[in-house]
């Protein structure tokens, strides 16, 4: 039975099963918290309708209070945070806002999770209304939050520099990979047959088709070097803003590239485990969870040298600059270095378990609850 101090976790910004990595990051983090501090905190999750159904395991650990909204309307979410959420969290010792922004004039002590500051680095990838909203709200939110949680040292440094934040206010809470990841994955023979991949080796990019994820770059690599690479390129992930363009280019390279779109979780894990490598030529990430997931499943990784990715990969994968010759060489090196990379990856994952993530979150909560008698 939970006897700890009351904490509200604001996940009303989620769109269950559709937001992507940031939603999964918080869900896994909270699962880790229940293992790291099972009775220390009295946590209630506030989320859009459908969240409990999409996260049944989390719903078995914590009470989930759902709004009537499904999270698709930013305007409705903003109103809900200033009205419904404010009423629901009255009396909480701490409110953890997981979506990077705070409601206006929120009075409770707050922990704010900031996933990244991509809007500052690549504003051209954002629509006008969303960019204006982020430019207006995120600086204020970061400065007004009692404390901030971020997934990497890279994001911590970026936030401190961008908003003139004292680094002691920022807690690094890394992504966590569950120990049973891949336990329900589709067997390799089945997933290859289902998606018509044959027996040839392939490299896999698991990412939505957003401009910064690197689909265009990988297609450039395969257009230039083709069959000389010795592998096929497989693209999985939901539709982003350049999905049609990526689809057209993949069709022109039908013998070398397969674009599968969104696949089931079991197929995704099966494809990662079957791949010769997971390739991740992203221009910007706050963390890059697919790389750690690939390592956990025994698959070598190749990433770009941008943003946080060298920090996350460390020496456990191949980190290459975004030029096509470097990536031709990296793809060619994978087979020769496979045993070394698989071992290094499995060792690296020990720093990114759900339990490690949950323990870091517990530390952040304690630091706030123990200040000036908050929550006592």
Tens digit of pLDDT for each residue in 273-291? 999 999 999 999 999 999 9
SS3 state at 197: coil
Closest CA to 294 of 316, 321, 323: 316
Highest mean pLDDT among 1-5, 124-128, 259-263: 259-263
Q: Give the integer Cα–Cα distance in Å for 164 and 334.
A: 41
CA 261 to chain centre: 18
**What's the mean pLDDT in 158-184?**
96
Res 164 pLDDT > 90: yes
Give the predicted TM-score (pTM) of the model: 0.92
pLDDT, position 371: 58
CA 336 vs CA 41, 127, 204, 247, 333: distances in Å: 48, 43, 18, 31, 5
Q: Kindly report the average pLDDT of the chain as a whole number.
A: 93
Q: Give the integer Cα–Cα distance in Å for 15 and 13.
A: 7
In sequence order, what are the residues at sequence separation of 6 or more whose Cβ sits closer than 8 angstroms to the Cβ of residue 135? 119
CA 256 to chain centre: 28
Q: Give the integer Cα–Cα distance in Å for 291 and 310.
A: 11
Tens digit of pLDDT for each residue in 245-261? 999 999 999 989 999 99
Tokens representing 41?
Answer: 């905190």
Q: Give the integer Cα–Cα distance in Å for 322 and 42.
A: 46
Confidence of residue 4 (pLDDT cuts 50, 70, 90): low
DSSP tag of 155:
H
**What's the mean pLDDT in 312-330?**
98
Tens digit of pLDDT for each residue in 224-238? 998 999 999 999 999
Structural domains of the chain in order of their starting residue, each with its CATH number = 5-176+354-369 (3.40.50.2000), 188-350 (3.40.50.2000)
Tens digit of pLDDT for each residue in 28-63? 999 999 999 988 999 999 999 999 999 999 999 999
């Amino acid at each position: 039975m939970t006897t700890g101090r009351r904490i509200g976790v604001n996940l009303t910004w989620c769109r269950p099963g559709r937001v992507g990595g940031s939603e999964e990051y918080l869900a896994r983090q909270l699962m880790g918290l229940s293992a790291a501090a099972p009775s220390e905190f009295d946590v209630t999750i506030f989320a859009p309708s459908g969240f409990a159904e999409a996260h049944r395991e989390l719903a078995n650990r914590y009470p989930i209070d759902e709004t009537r909204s499904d999270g698709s309307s930013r305007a409705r979410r903003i109103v809900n945070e200033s009205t419904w959420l404010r009423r629901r969290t009255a009396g909480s010792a701490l409110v953890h806002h997981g979506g990077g922004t705070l409601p206006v004039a929120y009075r409770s002590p707050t922990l704010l999770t900031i996933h990244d500051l991509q809007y500052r680095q690549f504003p051209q990838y954002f629509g006008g209304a969303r960019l204006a909203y982020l430019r207006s709200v995120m600086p204020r939110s970061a400065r007004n939050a009692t404390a901030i949680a971020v997934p990497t040292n890279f994001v911590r440094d970026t936030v401190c520099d961008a908003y003139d934040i004292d680094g002691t206010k920022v807690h690094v809470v890394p992504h966590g990979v569950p120990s049973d990841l891949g336990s329900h994955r589709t067997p390799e023979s089945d997933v290859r047959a289902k998606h018509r991949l044959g027996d040839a080796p392939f490299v896999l990019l698991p990412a939505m088709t957003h401009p910064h994820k690197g689909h265009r770059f990988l297609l450039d690599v395969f257009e230039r070097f083709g069959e000389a690479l010795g592998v096929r390129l497989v693209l999985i992930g939901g539709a982003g803003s350049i999905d049609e363009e990526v689809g057209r280019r993949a069709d022109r390279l039908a013998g070398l590239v397969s674009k599968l779109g969104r696949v089931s979780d079991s197929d995704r894990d099966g494809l990662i485990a079957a791949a010769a490598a997971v390739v991740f030529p992203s221009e910007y990430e706050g963390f890059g969870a697919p790389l750690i997931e690939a390592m956990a499943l025994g698959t070598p990784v190749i990433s770009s040298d941008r943003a946080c990715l060298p920090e996350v990969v460390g020496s456990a994968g191949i980190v290459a600059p975004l030029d096509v010759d470097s990536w031709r060489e990296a793809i060619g090196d994978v087979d020769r270095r496979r045993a070394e990379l698989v071992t290094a990856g499995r060792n690296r994952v020990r720093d990114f378990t759900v339990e490690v993530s949950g323990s870091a979150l517990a530390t952040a909560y304690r630091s706030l609850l123990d200040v000036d008698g908050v929550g006592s």
